[in-house]
Structure 1
Amino acid sequence: MAKKAPTAKPASKSEVFANIATTTGLTKKQVTSVFEALTTEIGKALGKKGSGVFQIPGLAKIMRKDIPAKAARKGIDPFTKQMRDFPAKPARKSVRVRPLKGLKGMV
C-alpha cells in the first residue's frame, strides 16, 4: 500500500493575520478589523433579511440554501435490506461555498 506524503499543517489564525499584515503593510490590528468587518457583511448577506448570497470577488460565492422539510416515509434500509420507517426531517438552512475561477486557478 502506498504511503501518503506528509501534509503540511495549515496556518493558524494569527499566522494568517501576520502574513497578511506583512504583505500589505497594515498592522495586525487593522487586518483583524478587516476580517471582523468581512464576517459581519457575510452574516448580513446570509441572514434572514439578506439576499442569501455573498461573493468574495474572484474567490468564492457563499450561498444560503433553504432545505424544505421532509415527511416520514417507509423504505428499504440499504444495509439490512429490510423495510423500515425513516423519520421526518424538519426544514433547515445550510451554507454552500462555491469556488470561482480565481480560486480554481490557484489549485
Structure 2
Amino acid sequence: MAKAPSPKAPSKSEVMANIATATGLTKKQITTVFEALTAEIGKALGKKGPGAFQIPGLCKIVRKHVPAKKAQKGVLNRLTGKVEDRPAKPASTTVRVRALKSLKSMV
C-alpha cells in the first residue's frame, strides 16, 4: 500500500501573499513587517540583548550558553563497539525555540 504524498510547506512568497490577503496590506508592507521582526529578534538575542524574545501566543526564543566539554579518553562507542577518545569541545551559544500553549493547541 503506497503512502499518500504529504502536502508541502508553503514557500516564503506564498506565506507573504496569504498574510497580505488576510490583512489587506500589500506584500511590500508585509515584507517590511517581517524584516522589522527579524531585526528585533536579532537585537534581543544579540550579546547586548536580554537573551530572550517572545512572539506573543506562538513561541519563545532563548539564547543558551553551552559550557565547554573536556576531552575524554577510553570511551566506548556504542555503534562500533570500539574504545575511542573524544576530543574537547569549546563553549558555544545555541538558540532554542519553545512553543507556547496556544501554538501547541493549534496542532
Counterpart for residue 92 of structure 1: 92
> Gaps (5+ residues) in structure 1?
none
Number of residue pairs aligned between Structure 1 and Structure 2: 106
Counterpart for residue 76 of structure 1: 76
Counterpart for residue 14 of structure 1: 13
The alignment-based identity, stated in percent, is 67
Give SS of 1:48's match.
coil
Counterpart for residue 40 of structure 2: 41
**CA–CA distance in 2 between the matches of 1:90 and 1:13?**
35
Counterpart for residue 102 of structure 1: 102
CA-CA distance at 1:3 after TM superposition: 4.0
Letter in 2 for 1:79: L
CA-CA distance at 1:80 after TM superposition: 2.6
Letter in 2 for 1:40: A
**CA–CA distance in 2 between the matches of 1:78 and 1:86?**
13
Letter in 2 for 1:69: A
Q: Give the TM-score normalised by the residue count of structure 1.
A: 0.93
